[in-house]
A and B are shown apart, each in its own frame.
Chain A
Amino acid sequence: EVQLVESGGGLVQPGGSLRLSCAASGFPFENYWMHWVRQAPGKGLMWVSRINTDGSNTGYADSVRGRFTISRDNAKNTLYLQMNSLRAEDTAVYYCVREWWASSAFDYWGQGTLVTVSS
């Protein structure tokens, strides 16, 4: 059974940092592109970042580029999102998602971890 389990969310002050982790199991993690998608309270989905299978190619939404860094450890089957210079508008549930074979569609989603940026 495919499982994606996020951790690392919490309350952080504006300007602060957090590192999200996503533990993957039930599939060959090293073969799949992975992404982070977020959803602000009561709002829609927003794509945040993606990483290819070996971590050599990454991409970011304009609103997070230069502040967030996506990475992965295939030996540990874990995806990461380092978030720096956090802003109130980054407050959201962050989902770790698996991409279905170069389709830009996300076939498995974690349950999400809530990040709240507030003083």
Chain B
Amino acid sequence: QSALTQPASVSGSPGQSITISCTGTSSDVGGYDHVSWTQQHPGKAPKLIIFNVSNRPSGVSNRFSGSKSANTASLTISGLQAEDEADYYCGSYTSFNSVIFGGGTKLTVL
């Protein structure tokens, strides 16, 4: 099963908003509301920022929001801050009773 499709990189200036897309199929993203987003800073362990498409774990800034339409999920970061510069991965449950990740998107804060 191929990885979910994410842009390799996105960039934005402080204060701006950016959106990262995550495209799958009806067997994963489109078929279930078990889509998550994970943030990873260089050399650090990943951190969950969105689960079940649009829910934030306790302690995660409300500048992070998630949504889904058909086979594509999206992560929006508003009020971009320097500390948001990181790699972002989407993930989804699949009809094969497994979990699949996207290839990752490198966010650069200009």
Residues of A within 8 A of B (CB): 35, 44-47, 50, 59, 61-62, 95, 100, 103-107, 109-112
Contacts and interface: CB of A to CB of B under 8 A. Distances in A.
Interface of B: 1, 3, 32, 34, 36, 38, 40, 45-48, 50-52, 57, 87, 89, 91-93, 97-104
13 contacts: A44-B89, A45-B91, A47-B98, A50-B99, A95-B45, A104-B92, A104-B99, A105-B36, A105-B50, A105-B91, A106-B38, A109-B46, A109-B47
Contacts of A46: 101
A104 B48 contact: no
Contact of A105 (B1, B34, B97, B104): B34
Smallest CB-CB A-B distances: 8 pairs: A105-B51, A105-B36, A104-B93, A47-B99, A104-B34, A44-B104, A109-B45, A45-B101
Given A45-B104, A59-B98, A103 B45 contact: no
A32 to B, nearest CB: 14
B34 A112 contact: no
Contacts of B34: 103-105
Contacts of B104: 44-45
A100 B56 CA distance: 12
A100 B98 contact: no
A110 B51 contact: no
Given A45-B46, A105-B52, A100 B57 contact: yes
A105 B51 CA distance: 6
Contacts of A107: 48, 51, 57
